Amino acid sequence: MCDEDMIYMAKLAEQAERYDDMAKTMKKFAKMKNVLNSEQRNLFSVAYKNVVGARRSSWRIISNEEGKANNEEKKNITKSYREDIENELKTTCKEVLDLLDDPLIPHAANDDDEVFYYKMKGDYHRYLAEVALQDDTESKRDGVRNRSKSEEAYKKACDISEKMPSTDPIRLGLALNYSVFQYEICNNAELACSLAQKAFDDAIAELDDLKDDSYKDSTLIMQLLRDNLALWNSCNQGEEGEE
């Protein structure tokens, strides 16, 4: 199958909401090409975001049910099911992280690529930390390790993103997810609010220079930043928005 056909196949899978198929196609494409253009990079991201997103949602639901189980048998059944979902989530996250480490990050063609991929690396280590930090002692050690790797990747992306306009949707998406990481994983509400507020204020200051082709994406992320700030400042424990 030629490059054009593989990308067409990935888009078909996206339309059909068959994200596992989409991810499989983009994994093969990434390993074959090493360098992705912005469209291909976004297809890769969307595929895995949906595959992992479904597992994260399922994991939260079943974890909640596990806490409500009123007898040992139900608790064991729920725990076993939660662990199955958790293993699927971990496998997918590790698959993405392997692809980022080789070939995608080493073959990043520009600052946009690097920030995009290091942000993804931060995100997928965050997802691993998210489930591990709430489990047994051995798993918690994995959680601490993934939390550290997530922070390292986000910081690397932030350093590079300083070269980009403050209204760039990639830079804004990074600030959004890094602030969520600080709030949810590090329990550092003060830093989370500071990061989100700075990103929002910096973008507002340059809003007049925002390009038409990225206006919708940038303003959507700015709205999510503002929503999170309102939520965090009110100490409401609702679910935060992330990219």
Same domain for 96 and 154, yes or no, is: yes
Q: Please give the Cα distance from 128 to 158 (Å, whole number).
A: 21
pLDDT at 137: 65
Using the 3D structure, point to which of 129, 163, 197 is the last residue of a domain: 163
Q: Which of 163, 190, 222 marks a domain boundary? A: 163
Residues 133 and 185 in one domain: no
Closest to 24 (Cα-Cα) out of 95, 94, 84? 95
> What does R_g of the chain's alpha carbons equal in angstroms?
19
Q: On the CB side of 241, how many CA atoms lie within 13 Å of its CA?
A: 18
169 and 153 together in one domain: no
The verdict on 159 and 187 lying in the same domain is: no
Residue 91: is its pLDDT beyond 70? yes
Residue tagged 């300083």 (tokens): 162
Confirm if 181 and 229 have CB atoms less than 8 A apart.
no
| Least confidently predicted of 41-55, 81-95, 97-111, 207-221 | 207-221
Mean pLDDT, rounded, of the chain: 95
Mean pLDDT of 39-64: 98
Do 133 and 226 share a domain, yes or no? no
Q: Which of 117, 136, 163 is the last residue of a domain?
A: 163
Quick one: 46 and 84 in the same domain?
yes
Residues 231 and 179 in one domain: yes
Residue 213, pLDDT above cutoff 90: no
Structural domain count, the chain: 2
**Structural domain boundaries, residue 212:** 164-243
